[in-house]
């Protein structure tokens, strides 16, 4: 029996052994999320100075630096952003754009019922995304490392990108952008949205610890024999900075219920249509960027 098989067997053995204890077990994990946005070259004809480009890049990167709290028990978890009252620019355009990234709201996972519920506000409207947990076909690795006091093991999975999550956007390769420009018009591209693309899939690298035998993790990641303490897709990294097991003051873990009920696919379509609407407004405005420094 290899190390991976042994860890899996021990995980399920521990679950059986602690069945009576499981009802009262609860934990809390804090995650720091950062996104390194790729640098975009400003196409000729766009009304953006190098200073404005730097401001936009820095503003978006800062807005994507967030802290999240995951409260979990053996079968359920609630994941939401930690609100900081003294944080500047809460209502800035950068913050609004960052919330397109799929990280705002309350995310509830139920492993037993295979249920995913996400309560989210989008442009003043409340939505309740009601869907099943994504099926993640993890590939277990033999590598290990320490995160805090916990020994963690590596696992990877390839997942489709989310067309409504702007953390997945990438600059189009120069040849592809030129090809589309020649096909559509002889004029230089002036639309930022024409300069980006969404890859069809991405590779997720996770580090989990069997020392905390719950199949939970940040965002909608789950399905490993231990709590996921780090997740990275090459652009965004979510790293656990604190773990508290059986805290004295236990948080209430319950499913959200507020908002118009939609599936994940329906919600993504709503976001994409809104982005297209904003793109058209941008073109009608002569390509002027609405961003200002805070």
Spell out the SS3 assignment of 101-164.
Answer: HCCCCEEEEECCCCEEEEEEEECCEEEEEEEECCCCCCEEEEEEEEECCEEEEEEEEEEECCCC
- Find, among 204, 205, 228, 207, the residue nearest to 216 by Cα: 228
Total number of residues shown for the chain: 294
Helices (H), the chain: 3-17, 19-22, 50-63, 93-98, 174-184, 264-284
Is 289 a domain residue? Answer: no
- Structure tokens of 178? 């030129």
Residues 6+ apart with CB under 8 A from 291: 52, 55, 56, 59, 93, 94
Distance of CA 132 to the CA centre of its chain: 17
Q: Is residue 129 part of a domain?
A: yes
Task: State residue 266 phi and psi, 5-degree precision.
Answer: -65, -40
Which tokens hold the place of 128? 């309740």
290 within domain boundaries: no
Looking at residue 108, its pLDDT comes to: 98
Instruction: Tell me if 291 sits within 8 A of 52, measured CB to CB.
Output: yes
pLDDT at 50: 73
The verdict on residue 12 lying in a domain is yes
In a domain, 294, yes or no: no
pLDDT value of residue 19 = 46
pLDDT of amino acid 20: 43
Total domains in the chain come to 1
Per-residue confidence of the chain (294 residues) as pLDDT tens digits? 666 666 665 555 555 544 444 558 999 999 999 987 766 555 555 666 777 767 766 666 677 789 999 999 999 999 999 876 555 555 555 555 555 555 579 999 999 999 999 999 988 899 999 999 999 999 999 999 999 999 999 999 999 988 777 777 666 665 454 555 554 444 444 455 566 677 889 999 999 999 999 999 999 999 999 999 999 998 899 999 999 999 988 899 999 999 999 999 999 999 888 878 877 776 665 555 444 444
Give dist(CA 280, CA 287) in Å, integer: 10
Residue 140 backbone class (left: φ over 0; alpha: ψ -120 to 50; beta: rest)? beta
Domain that holds residue 168: 3-284
Q: Is residue 293 part of a domain?
A: no
The b/e string for 194-215 (b: 16+ C-beta within 10 A; e otherwise) is: ebbbeeeebebbbbbbbebbbb
Tokens (6 digits) for 113: 């019922």
Using an 8 Å Cβ cutoff, are 253 and 73 in contact? yes
Please report whether residue 182 resides in a domain.
Answer: yes
């Amino acid at each position: 029996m290899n190390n991976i098989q042994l860890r899996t067997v021990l995980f399920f053995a521990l679950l059986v052994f602690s069945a009576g204890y499981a009802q009262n077990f609860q934990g809390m994990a804090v995650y720091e999320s950062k996104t390194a946005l790729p640098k975009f070259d400003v196409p000729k004809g766009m009304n953006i100075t190098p200073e404005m480009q730097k401001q936009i890049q820095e503003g978006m990167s800062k807005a994507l630096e967030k802290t999240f709290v995951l409260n979990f028990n053996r079968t359920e978890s609630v994941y939401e952003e930690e609100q900081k009252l003294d944080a500047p620019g809460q209502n800035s355009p950068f913050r609004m754009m960052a919330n397109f990234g799929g990280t705002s709201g309350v995310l509830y996972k139920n492993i037993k019922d295979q249920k995913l519920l996400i309560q989210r506000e989008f442009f003043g409207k409340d939505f309740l995304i009601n869907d099943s947990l994504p099926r993640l076909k993890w590939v277990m690795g033999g590598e290990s490392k320490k995160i805090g006091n916990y020994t963690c093991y590596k696992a990877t999975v390839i997942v489709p990108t989310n067309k409504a999550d702007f953390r997945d956007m990438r600059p189009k390769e120069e040849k592809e952008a030129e090809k589309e420009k020649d096909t559509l018009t002889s004029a230089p591209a002036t639309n930022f949205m024409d300069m980006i693309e969404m890859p069809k899939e991405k590779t997720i690298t996770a580090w989990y610890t069997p020392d905390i035998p719950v199949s939970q993790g940040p965002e909608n990641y789950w399905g490993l024999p231990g709590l996921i303490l780090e997740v990275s897709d090459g652009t965004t990294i979510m790293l656990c900075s604190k773990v508290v097991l059986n805290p004295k003051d236990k948080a209430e873990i319950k499913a959200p219920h507020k908002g118009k009920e939609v599936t994940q696919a329906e919600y993504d379509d709503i976001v994409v249509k809104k982005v297209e609407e904003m793109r058209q407004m941008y073109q009608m405005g002569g390509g002027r960027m609405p961003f200002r420094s805070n």
